[in-house]
Chain A
Amino acid sequence: MLDNLRDFSGSGFLFILLLVSIVFLGFRLKRGTVKTLTVYLPIFVLAIFFCPLWNIYMKNAEDGEILYRLLWMIPFAVVVCSALVEAVHVLPERYRAVSFAAAVLIIIISGKYIYSNPHFSKAENSYHVPQDVVDICDDIRIEGREIRACFPIERIQYVRQYSPYVCLAYGRTVLLGNGYNDYSQVEEFLDDEVIDTEGLTEELRRVDTPYLILKHDTDMTEKPDKYGFNFVKSYGEYDLYLDENAYLGTWTEFTDN
């Protein structure tokens, strides 16, 4: 459980702030509903979280690492902030503005600013999907059928959020490493420092993937066009290649012919 707690509490300062708040409210509040909910309930949840029986569960269950979610039952913000409000009001009114500023400062010092998260970036569109993914998906779409494409690993999470008409040669399961048998071995080629172009294009044809998207600066043994994957267009820092043997009509046309 300690690993779970470490994963959950990060630096640990907010968790310490929670514990201090519980102790403070425990002394400050008289017996009553507020004390029951802000002091005894968090203690009850903490007792459950630290129950040694979870260790047995963690040894046998696949999802033992998510037990930190038990701590969601403690309304951290409510407990900590009600303690801070009480603490601010312990002092005389003339110090209230200063003590409020101190309370804000305590939160800021103990925590970590959420928008400093590197995963935040200005949205390029209302889908919150990179515009290059949107443009590629729109351009390769064929009315009446799906089309399969191989995107670089940093783009695969966005593709099917935007367009389910574009199927992928490999999915996010390759990042999860949980033993899923994916559709192809394409990602093994993409993982190499210098991509084996012949092996990659062979594998793409094996799994009916006519479109290949790569970064401009991708190191490859040869250019994809040597093996019939011709350059089509650039989208920002990505290049789109198309298999010259690919059938791009609809299935109805295909079966009619």
Chain B
Amino acid sequence: MAGCGHGTDGAQRYCMILRCVIFVAVFLPATAMIGYNLKRDDESQLMTLVYGLIISWALAFVVGVPLIIKHKPLSLMMWILLALYGVLVATGLFMCIRRRIIAGPKAPIAPFKKSEIIYLGLFLGIVAFQLFKAIFYACADGDDAFYIATARTAEISNRMYELDAYIGVPVDEMPFRYVFAPFPMWEAVLARVSGVHTATLAHTILPPILIIVTYILYNEISKLLFGAENREKRFMFLTLTAVFEMFANVSTSTSGTFLLTRARQGKEALACIILPLLFYELFRLARAEGELKIKDLMLLFAAFGAASLSSLLGNVLAPIMIAGAALWMLVKRKRFGNIVLICTPVIISAATVLMYLKIR
């Protein structure tokens, strides 16, 4: 197995499993600490994981695209990202410790009713089944031949989008449609840093993480829908969403199908994490009567960066959602300054699309 020396098969397997465990043990807390920078006080700790990913993706986009266009090596992208992630982990850790010190004792959690335990148990059981399937079952998808091969090629060759992912020859011209949505390069960076094979990372490690992140978002949305204290409704809702996603295979195009079959591609991140996050943000915004705080705006910027990283179409869908929110704020006669502010992240999408049209 690549990257694990020349030992026996058993030793190589042990080495690979160890690398995977170390990767998860470092990646999850680091991502959560990055996300802590944007976590609001009324949100669950689990949301730090969602925000951590969103920030990581946004930074990967901002750093990655110029480097790719300039034909710089992947290692440079890796070092810049590591430095940025390191700073954000440090600030997140500082904020986390400070909040722990300032915060008083936690309010006791009300005992669970029998029905709540049943729904929660059902939900966790279904999600555990989905994670088992994601890890131990392969779902062949032709697009992986491009996305994962592109990431693997970059990881090994240290060159980004300069070799044809399918046949391996140098390309005459970069595939700009994909260069402007370099989600595979984020995966290549993770693989290069961790020493975990890109295919293992993309097929075995990332899918369960991304699936869990989607359900964390659904959990937070359920609080807005039914109120945090209405646990029976919330857990019933979560159980139904888990069933819904598992039966969303009416076509290859639904977000549910993407969630459980392609949780390694940028399109899945867009459909199952970034757009639901924007939905959640708009929900919060509507609840706050259109009042924007600095963290809300920062989060919108990060979500737009992440949308751009995930897919070129992210530069269309994210602005449409914000346009909907702006329209609602206009109808509701909210402060004009806030309407302008909420639209500012669209600059990222507009700049990306304009650059793409100019350069392709």
CA gap between A127 and B206 in the complex, in Å: 12
Q: Which residues of A contact B287 (CB under 8 A)?
A: 33
- Chain B residues whose C-beta falls within 8 Å of the C-beta of A166 in the assembled complex: 168
A28 within 8 A of B: no
Tell whether, in the assembled complex, residue A160 and residue B275 are in contact, meaning their CB atoms are under 8 Å apart. no
**Complex-state Cα separation, A12 to B254, whole angstroms:** 12
Which listed residue (A116, A122, A128, A164) contacts B153, Cβ 8 A?
A164
| A107 and B136 in contact, given A73-B275, A82-B225, A85-B236 (Cβ under 8 angstroms) | no
Is A194 positioned at the interface, with any CB of B under 8 Å from its CB?
no
CA separation between A151 and B139, bound complex, in Å? 20
Question: Counting CB contacts under 8 A, is B102 at the interface?
Answer: no
Partner of A10, one of B133, B144, B152, B250: B250
B236 touches which of A77, A88, A127, A148 (Cβ 8 Å): A88
Q: Choose, from B46-54, B65-73, B81-89, B316-324, the stretch at the interface.
A: B316-324
Q: Is B203 an interface residue (CB 8 A)?
A: yes
Binds B, one of A96-104, A195-203, A216-224, A231-239: A96-104
List chain A residues, Cβ under 8 A from B135.
Answer: 123
Give the residues from 73 to 103 in chain A that come closer than 8 angstroms, CB to CB, to chain B: 73, 75-78, 80-82, 84-85, 88-89, 96, 100, 103
Beta-carbon contact of B249 and A112 below 8 Å? yes
CA distance A77 to B257 in the complex (A): 12
Q: Is B2 an interface residue (CB 8 A)?
A: yes
- Residues of chain B lying within 8 A (CB to CB) of residue A126: 16, 20, 197, 199-200, 203-204
> What's the nearest-Cβ distance from chain B to residue A52, in Å?
17
Q: Known contacts A100-B236, A156-B145, A171-B166; is A37 also within 8 Å of B279 by CB?
A: yes
A100 to chain B, nearest CB (A): 6
Q: Please give, as numbers and ranges, the residues of chain A lying within 8 Å of B202 by CB-CB distance.
A: 161
| A225 in contact (CB, < 8 A) | no
Chain A, interface size category, equals: 35 or more
Q: Are A111 and B236 in contact (CB under 8 A)?
A: no
Q: Mark B150-184, 1 if CB is under 8 A from A, else 0.
A: 00110011000001111111000000000000000
Q: Are B244 and A77 in contact (CB under 8 A)?
A: yes
Contact B226 A85 (CB under 8 A): yes
Q: In this complex, what residue of B is CB-closest to A174?
A: B166
Given A69-B253, A114-B261, A167-B169, A127 and B237 contact (CB-CB distance below 8 Å): no
In the assembled complex, how far is the CB of residue A38 from the closest CB belonging to chain B, in whole angstroms? 8
Q: How far is the CB of A49 from chain B (nearest CB, A)?
A: 10
Tell which of B139, B152, B244 touches A162, judged by Cβ atoms closer than 8 Å: B152
Min CB distance, B231 to chain A, in Å? 12
A107 and B244 in contact, given A72-B271, A82-B237, A112-B249 (Cβ under 8 angstroms): yes
A9 at the B interface (CB under 8 A):
yes
Does B190 belong to the interface (CB within 8 Å)? Answer: no
Distance of B187 from chain A, by nearest CB (Å): 11
With a CB–CB cut-off of 8 A, which chain B residues contact A103? Answer: 240
Known: A37-B279, A82-B225, A126-B203. A111 touches B248 (CB 8 A): yes
Bound complex: CA of A171 vs CA of B164, how far in Å?
Answer: 9
What is the CA–CA distance of A167 and B135 in the complex, to the nearest angstrom?
Answer: 28
Least Cβ–Cβ distance between A167 and chain B, in angstroms: 3
The residues in B between 275 and 302 inclusive whose CB is less than 8 angstroms from any CB of A are 275-276, 279, 282-283, 286-287
| B247 and A114 within 8 A (CB) | yes
Say if the beta carbon of B185 comes within 8 Å of chain A. no
Distance in Å from the Cβ of B51 to the closest Cβ of chain A? 18
A146 contacts the other chain (CB 8 A): yes
A36 to B282, CA, bound (A): 10
CA distance A161 to B197 in the complex (A): 10
Check B233–A11 contact: CB distance below 8 A.
Answer: no
Q: How far is the CA of A46 from the CA of B319 in the complex (A)?
A: 16
Asked whether A117 is an interface residue with its Cβ less than 8 Å from the other chain, the reply is yes
Question: What is the minimal beta-carbon distance from B134 to any residue of chain A, in angstroms?
Answer: 10
Residues of A within 8 A of B149 (CB): 160-161, 164
Q: Is the CB of A172 within 8 A of B152?
A: no
Bound complex: CA A172 to CA B245 (Å): 29
With A14-B250, A162-B152 as contacts: A122 and B137 at CB distance below 8 Å:
yes
Contacts of B313 in A (CB 8 A): 66, 69
Which parts of A122-143 form the interface with B (CB within 8 Å)? Answer: 122-124, 126-129
Contacts of B164 in A (CB 8 A): 171, 183
Q: Mark B31-73, 1 if CB is under 8 A from A, else 0.
A: 0000000000000000000000000000000000000000000
Complex-state Cα separation, A82 to B233, whole angstroms:
9
Asked if B255 is at the interface of the complex by the 8 Å CB criterion, the answer is yes
Q: Report yes or no: B243 in contact with A116, Cβ–Cβ below 8 A.
A: no
- Find the A residue at minimum CB distance from B157: A164
In the complex, 26 of the A-B residue pairs with CB atoms within 8 angstroms, ordered by the A residue number, are A9-B250, A10-B250, A33-B283, A69-B271, A69-B313, A70-B320, A76-B255, A77-B256, A78-B241, A80-B240, A82-B226, A85-B233, A107-B240, A112-B247, A114-B248, A114-B249, A121-B138, A128-B139, A128-B199, A157-B144, A160-B153, A164-B156, A170-B167, A171-B164, A171-B165, A183-B169
Q: B residues bordering A, Cβ < 8 Å?
A: 2, 16, 20, 115, 133, 135-142, 144-146, 148-149, 152-153, 156-157, 163-169, 197-200, 202-204, 218, 221, 224-226, 233, 236-237, 239-241, 243-251, 253-257, 260-261, 267, 270-271, 275-276, 279, 282-283, 286-287, 313, 317, 320-321, 324, 327-328
Q: Give 7 closest A-B pairs by Cβ, nearest first.
A: A171-B166, A111-B247, A167-B168, A10-B250, A128-B203, A128-B138, A157-B145
Known pairs A72-B317, A128-B203, A129-B138 / 19 extra A-B pairs, C-beta < 8 Å: A14-B254, A34-B224, A34-B225, A41-B279, A69-B267, A72-B255, A73-B279, A75-B279, A77-B245, A85-B236, A112-B249, A119-B141, A126-B204, A127-B197, A157-B142, A157-B145, A158-B145, A161-B149, A168-B167
